[in-house]
Amino acid sequence: MSTSQIAFLKGHGTENDFVIVPDPDNALDLPVPVVARLCDRRAGIGGDGLLHVVRSAAHPDARDMADEAEWFMDYRNADGSVAEMCGNGVRVFARYLQRAGFVADGDLAVATRGGIKRAHIDKDGDITVSMGRAVLPGSGVTVTVDGRSWDARNVNMGNPHAVAFVEDLDHAGDLFSVPPFSPQSVYPDGVNIEFVADRGPRHVAMRVHERGSGETRSCGTGACAVAVAAARRDGVDPAQTGAPATYTVDLPGGTLVITEHPDGGIDMTGPAVIVAEGVIDPSWVETMIG
């Protein structure tokens, strides 16, 4: 990482919070320990993840998307690991670009490791992201927390999820102290785990334990996985009925509205807020990289 002044912002989407590091030319090296320290809530700035904002043409993982999407969301989890996609992250990323004057209100394409995602930005309102289709591999999985196990649905939203329906969200126990377990063979690269309880017709509540971040107050890809799993459990499949299905998903940090369309495409709508901006102390970075 260059040790000249490095700007950052802090933002969140339904309280899934991110350190945002604008770096259009991809000039910064962000090794795992530096990302982990920036996301550290006591020794760093603090966040569930980091959004490295880079022009697609300047990043090897996004160059082939540059014609369609000028900006690449280089997403990292709080432990510094790379993830394919972050739904709340795309909304906050779009809000940053709008606020910085890089894009106007309206429609925007964002390159991610999970492909190009299209966002629609209302000036001061919510942001809708077209998240693509869910893949539901047939295999059932088991989620175990603190000695208790639940059958779960395997759902891939570009990143892996295991969705378990529970009677009471408190049954998930203290996810902070006892990370949920799922079979390694099904998820060799780890998994995000959602616990879901019914709240009403097409209305659910969830808690999530995120790969690379622990329990967070919201997860956009997780909410999409939950909505699709709940729909199939309810016997609802827009591909069969030809009608879109909308589920309201309550999370500890807010509410997301998820619509699955007959072509399988999933839209996620929710807020995105920038709360602060500042400069990272270059001498602090030097102590990390020696």
Ligand X SMILES: N[C@@H](CCC[C@H](N)C(=O)O)C(=O)O
- Tell me which of 11, 80, 220, 253 binds ligand X, using CB under 6 A: 220
Min dist. Cβ of residue 7 to ligand X (A): 23
* 269 is an interface residue for ligand X by CB under 6 A: no
Identify the sign of the CA torsion 87, 92, 94, 97.
negative
User: φ, ψ for residue 53 (rounded to 5)?
Assistant: -95, 110
Helices (H), 144-281: 220-233, 238-241
Is residue 192 part of an annotated ligand binding site? yes
- Tell me which of 26, 56, 88, 98 binds ligand X, using CB under 6 A: 88
Is residue 77 part of an annotated ligand binding site? yes
Nearer to ligand X, 212 or 238 (CB): 212
Q: Can you tell me the distance from the alpha carbon of 241 to that of 227, in angstroms, rounded to the nearest whole number?
A: 16
- Subset of 100-159 contacting ligand X (CB under 6 A): 159
Min dist. Cβ of residue 161 to ligand X (A): 8
Q: Can you tell me the distance from the alpha carbon of 290 to that of 277, in angstroms, rounded to the nearest whole number?
A: 26
User: φ, ψ for residue 169 (rounded to 5)?
Assistant: -60, -25
Structure tokens at 125: 């309102």
* 83 is an interface residue for ligand X by CB under 6 A: yes
- Subset of 45-64 contacting ligand X (CB under 6 A): 49
Q: Which residue has the tokens 């099904």?
A: 186
- Tell me which of 50, 53, 69, 86 binds ligand X, using CB under 6 A: 86
Nearest CA-CA partner of 276 in 99, 124, 105: 99
* 219 is an interface residue for ligand X by CB under 6 A: yes
Is residue 211 part of an annotated ligand binding site? yes
Q: Can you tell me the distance from the alpha carbon of 266 to that of 282, in angstroms, rounded to the nearest whole number?
A: 41
* 253 is an interface residue for ligand X by CB under 6 A: no
Residue range at the interface with ligand X (CB under 6 A); choices 35-43, 80-88, 180-188, 272-280: 80-88
Amino acid code (one letter) for 236: V
To 10 degrees, what angle do helices 87-99 and 220-233 make?
140
Binding-site annotation: residue ranges: 16, 77, 87-88, 159, 192, 210-211, 220-221
| Residues contributing to the site for ligand X (CB under 6 A) | 16, 49, 77, 83, 86-89, 159, 192, 210-213, 216, 219-222
Binding-site annotation: residue ranges for substrate: 16, 77, 87-88, 159, 192, 210-211, 220-221
